[in-house]
Amino acid sequence: MNTIKKYAGLLWIILGPLAIHYLLQTAKSEMAKKPGIDTQIQWGVFITVFYPIAIGFILFGLYALEGNYDHLPEDSSQLDDYEAKPL
């Protein structure tokens, strides 16, 4: 399972930029098709919101590829004992 987790990470890393590209292309074509402030606001909101999420998705893929999800905390006591290490 850990191997699948790691290699799937590659897929998420690729999907992130693809999603951004698709979003930008659709926004561009829709704004050209229906010029106007409404369309600009609408797509502006979509890009502003989904762009950082796509970056987060790439980061998620990177963590998966590095094996950070190979072992997750088993119970609540592990969580409360947790000492976070800086990035």
Partner 1 sequence: MSNEISTKGIWKVIGASSLGTLIEWYDFYIFGSLAVVIANQFFPKTNPTAALLSTLATFAAGFIVRPFGALVFGRLGDLIGRKYTFLLTLVLMGLSTFLIGCIPNYDSIGFLAPILVLILRLIQGLALGGEYGGAATYVAEHAPANRRGYFTSWIQTTATLGLFISLGVILLTRHLLDADQAKSIAKFNDWGWRIPFLISIVLVIVSIYIRLKMKESPMYAKLKSEGKTSINPLKESFGHKANLKMVLLALFGATMGQGVVWYTGQFYAQSFIENVCKVDFDQSRTILIWAILFATPFFVVFASLSDKIGRKWIMIAGMLLAVLSYNFLFTQLYNIADVKDRIEITAMKEIKTTTAVIKNSNDTLRKVAVKTFYEDGMSMTQTKIDTAYSTSGKTTLKPTVTISKTINSSDYWKMVAIVFILILYVTMVYGPIAAFLVELFPTKIRYTSMSLPYHIGNGVFGGLTPFIATLLTTIYTDNKIVGLMYPIIIATLCMIIGAIYISNKVNKEVNA
Amino acid code (one letter) for 13: I
Q: Is 86 in the site for partner 1 (CB under 8 A)?
A: yes
Whether 2 and 67 have beta carbons less than 8 Å apart is answered as: yes
77 to 21, 72, 83, 85: CA distances (angstroms): 42, 13, 12, 18
Q: Contacts with partner 1 in 16-75 (CB under 8 A)?
A: 30, 38, 41-42, 45-46, 49-50, 53, 56-57, 59-60, 63-64, 68-69, 72, 74-75
Whether 27 and 46 have beta carbons less than 8 Å apart is answered as: yes
Chain residues binding partner 1 by CB under 8 A are 1, 4-5, 8, 12, 30, 38, 41-42, 45-46, 49-50, 53, 56-57, 59-60, 63-64, 68-69, 72, 74-77, 79-80, 82, 84-87
